[in-house]
Amino acid sequence: MAHHRATRAEIDLQAFRHNFQNLRSHISPQTRIMAVVKADAYGHGALPCARVAVECGADYLGAGVIEEGIELRQSGLDAPILILGSIFPDEAEDLVRHDLATIVCTLPLAQALAKEAEKQNKTASVHIKVDTGMNRLGVLPENLPELLNQIRNLPNLKIEGVSTHFASADDEVLSITQAQFKKFQAALACLKQDDRPLIHCSNTSALFKFPESHFDMVRPGLILYGALPSPSLQAVLIEKENLSPFKPVMQWKSRIILVKSIAKGQPVSYSGSFTTQRGSLIATLPVGYADGLHRSLSNKMDVLIRGKRAPQIGNICMDMTLIDVTEIQDVQAGDEVVLFGKQEGQTITVDEMATKGGTIPYEILCNVGKRVPRIYG
């Protein structure tokens, strides 16, 4: 397929492969890995990334919603897939038909799955989530034994896993995660050792900060794409002797569509949020908030042009944004611009863009829009 847009996201699947193998070296060979590819693999493309993950030995794939799991199945992937966001009872038919597993924390959903699995003459796999403090999905620890017994008595259902989710593993304060971990351990005491399902709770931050939380399977997400959930994780990674650096998988690039001179004292873009303080050379880029470049980054971010940083100026528009290139020599229409990534030895990271936009790297990556073509290499 031909890509006509100058604005593009370049996806390095070899970097993704490196990141998976790097993580694999950090954990026990007996610990399984669920590669989280939800939200279109955090904007990187679920199918290409899932295929590489399975090639590298991923034991499980994590999807966010049932449509994501169905897409992976219809593309030929037969690895186990867990719908991390759970489903509604009326989605049971599709879940069973496509051999997907789902998070369960209520009896009505389990009953709907059992009924549908019996109808299709199949066995449906479920992972029971325990709410240890996220207060989102999950059964309360004290109600876990009853739910386990109820589900065990349903036909055509297999309790494949028991899990929880940490609310604050990305944060510098560790006590909240430690408290959740203790609650989870206590809840697991009701499980029978001779019929114990997969136990999993470690996301990216937890699997590095709390190795005791690895249990039977870990659920890496953002780290597979070479970004960090929070700055606090960087110091932890540096201390790991057997780890090489994780590599960013995505670079977001565009090209200059126009360069023109603007006199001193001229307002720039909508609402005149920036006024030139000197005679300036302004470059227009064909990328805007419809492509996922947050408007909140207006007048805050830099880009790379000819290996040098240039500030973004004025309000980011739906389809365009403006850059001050006054300090960069010989800038021309057609020059490559890096929004995040590398150019001539200089780097702008997703983490930097997230900090300047007052958000997190997850949101920056996930919001790179569908109309931005992904170029795989």
Cα dihedral 353/359/363/367 (nearest 10): -60
Q: Are 213 and 207 in contact (CB under 8 A)?
A: yes
8 Å CB contact between 130 and 139: yes
293 burial level (CB within 10 Å; 0-12, 13-18, 19+): buried
Angle between helices 144-152 and 107-119 (to 10 degrees): 20
270 is catalytic: yes
151 Cβ contact partners less than 8 Å away, ≥ 6 residues apart:
104, 107, 110, 126, 128, 157, 159
Report the Cα 22 to chain-centroid distance in Å.
18
- Residue 362 annotated as catalytic: no
Residue of 38, 129, 209, 356 marked active site: 38
Residues 274, 93: Cα–Cα separation, whole Å: 55
Which residue in 119, 122, 240, 270 is the catalytic one?
270
Catalytically active residues are 38, 270
